[in-house]
């Protein structure tokens, strides 16, 4: 027997769970989340390291962060969960004038959009904020003490639990394999490998797999997977848990401490299979070398090779989220393409998409820079690679 839903959300990661919660909180009944995984957290959300920052170069990303931060600060009241937010700060390091100019330009955008505590710092101030760095080569940087760390799976769990209490159904092992359109061209039915659901609305929240889900509906979506590898040390007290996330603007190397171990990342090329998340031994060697050059106390710390992991960013062409109805199909919505910032922005994206679906437009923020149809526009500003 076929069944129905007011809204089917494809993907039960942090973005899908946030959309589900915010729809239910706005009074939408009969929301179902369909995920092909056997349990929550199997997609990118479970592989994220949990950084949160308002230090972006684009005004829209800064605004998304501020809206998300406000919601994370009252996450316990809103969902009953613990998002694990710790304001340990983010420290960006420039090693030459060009990098410093880029950080200054981003800082101006941040300040203009209300990030009042982001500041430029010189080499001496950097040495005080993070005394573990080798000072040589540090030209300057920016620092924002209210940036910090969050717990991706706890945010997913918080939204999922709160959504379930409002009546949302999460179905695991529910692979979405197709959509059928009605006579007016809108989506009428979602097909899973088990059954069919007649729907009023569909949300694509399929993370790095979003283009495939869109294609099942006959829609084009420019979201591609990009592998990110994470190296992790054995347990160590070489660096304190309070050390800010520290990022080198030139090559994107960054490190932080989580649960008594140091996490280290540096961007690398993807594998031959774009969905491959294996970790390359040569990459571990190179990130370890870079880490030990820049943070001398790591020289004596072992890497836990078996615990290193890989995951996928969900890249859009301009590095910016894609939010709103698909062009030409008004009941198929995208919540995609966060390009590696999906955990920190999920609280904002879920609230904004609920406004779009329930009210017909987002009222908390101007989300026109995120409109799905923007990629044909000639003069759309591009977000920078790292910031």
Ligand X SMILES: Cc1cc2nc3c(=O)[nH]c(=O)nc-3n(C[C@H](O)[C@H](O)[C@H](O)COP(=O)(O)OP(=O)(O)OC[C@H]3O[C@@H](n4cnc5c(N)ncnc54)[C@H](O)[C@@H]3O)c2cc1C
| Residues in touch with ligand X (CB under 6 A) | 10-16, 34-37, 42-45, 47-51, 175-176, 205-209, 213, 228, 230, 311-314, 338, 340-344
**How far, in whole angstroms, is CA 101 from its chain's centroid?**
26
Strand bridging mode 31-34 / 3-10: parallel
102 versus 214: smaller Cβ distance to ligand X: 214
User: How many CA within 13 A on the CB side of residue 144?
Assistant: 28
- Report, in Å, the least distance between residue 94 CB and ligand X: 21
List Cβ neighbours of 132 (8 Å cut-off, separation of 6 or more): 238, 239, 243, 295, 296, 297
- Report, in Å, the least distance between residue 136 CB and ligand X: 28
45 versus 288: smaller Cβ distance to ligand X: 45
313 versus 332: smaller Cβ distance to ligand X: 313
Q: Can you tell me whether residue 299 is helix, strand or coil?
A: helix
48 versus 100: smaller Cβ distance to ligand X: 48
100 versus 266: smaller Cβ distance to ligand X: 266
42 versus 125: smaller Cβ distance to ligand X: 42
- The number of residues making up the chain comes to 387
- Report, in Å, the least distance between residue 243 CB and ligand X: 15
> Do 180 and 192 touch, CB atoms closer than 8 A?
no
- Report, in Å, the least distance between residue 330 CB and ligand X: 22
**345 φ/ψ angles, rounded to the nearest 5 degrees:** -95, -5
How far, in Å, CA of 137 to CA of 123, rounded? 9
**How far, in whole angstroms, is CA 269 from its chain's centroid?**
19
- Report, in Å, the least distance between residue 339 CB and ligand X: 7
- Report, in Å, the least distance between residue 183 CB and ligand X: 25
List Cβ neighbours of 313 (8 Å cut-off, separation of 6 or more): 44, 208, 225, 226, 227, 228, 339, 340
- Report, in Å, the least distance between residue 160 CB and ligand X: 11
158 versus 340: smaller Cβ distance to ligand X: 340
Q: Residue 142 corresponds to which tokens in the numbers above?
A: 């920016």
Measured from the Cβ of residue 274, the count of other Cβ atoms closer than 10 Å reads: 12
């Amino acid at each position: 027997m076929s069944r129905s839903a007011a809204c089917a959300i494809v993907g039960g990661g942090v973005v899908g769970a946030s959309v589900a919660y915010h729809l239910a909180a706005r009074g939408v009944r009969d929301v179902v989340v369909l995920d092909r995984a056997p349990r929550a957290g199997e997609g990118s959300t479970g592989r994220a390291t949990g950084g949160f920052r308002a230090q972006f170069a684009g005004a829209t990303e800064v605004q998304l962060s501020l809206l998300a931060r406000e919601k994370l600060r009252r996450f316990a009241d809103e969902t009953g969960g613990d998002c694990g937010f710790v304001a340990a700060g983010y420290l960006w390091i420039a090693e030459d004038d060009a990098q410093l100019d880029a950080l200054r330009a981003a800082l101006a955008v941040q300040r203009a959009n209300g990030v009042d505590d982001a500041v430029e710092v010189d080499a001496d101030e950097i040495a005080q904020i993070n005394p573990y760095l080798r000072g040589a080569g540090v030209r300057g940087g920016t620092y924002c003490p209210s940036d910090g760390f969050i717990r991706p799976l706890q945010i997913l769990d918080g939204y999922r639990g709160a959504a379930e209490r409002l009546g949302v159904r999460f179905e695991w092992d529910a692979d979405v394999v197709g959509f059928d359109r009605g006579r007016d061209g809108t989506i009428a039915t979602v097909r899973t490998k088990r059954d069919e659901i007649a729907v009023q609305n569909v949300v694509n929240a399929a993370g790095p797999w979003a283009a495939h889900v869109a294609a099942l509906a006959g829609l084009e979506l420019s979201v591609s997977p990009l592998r990110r590898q994470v190296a992790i040390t054995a347990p160590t007290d070489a660096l304190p848990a309070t050390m800010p996330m520290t990022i080198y603007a030139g090559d994107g190397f960054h490190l932080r401490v989580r649960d008594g171990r140091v996490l280290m990342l540096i961007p690398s090329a993807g594998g031959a299979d774009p969905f491959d998340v294996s970790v390359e031994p040569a990459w571990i060697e190179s990130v370890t070398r870079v880490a030990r050059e820049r943070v001398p106390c790591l020289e004596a710390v072992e890497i836990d090779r078996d615990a290193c992991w890989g995951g996928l960013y969900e890249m859009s062409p301009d590095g910016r989220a894609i939010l709103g109805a698909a062009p030409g199909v008004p009941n198929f919505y995208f919540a995609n393409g966060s390009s590696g910032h999906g955990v920190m922005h999920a609280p904002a994206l879920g609230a904004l998409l609920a406004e779009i679906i329930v009210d017909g437009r987002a009222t908390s923020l101007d989300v026109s820079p995120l409109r799905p149809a923007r990629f044909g526009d000639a003069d759309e500003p591009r977000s920078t690679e790292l910031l």
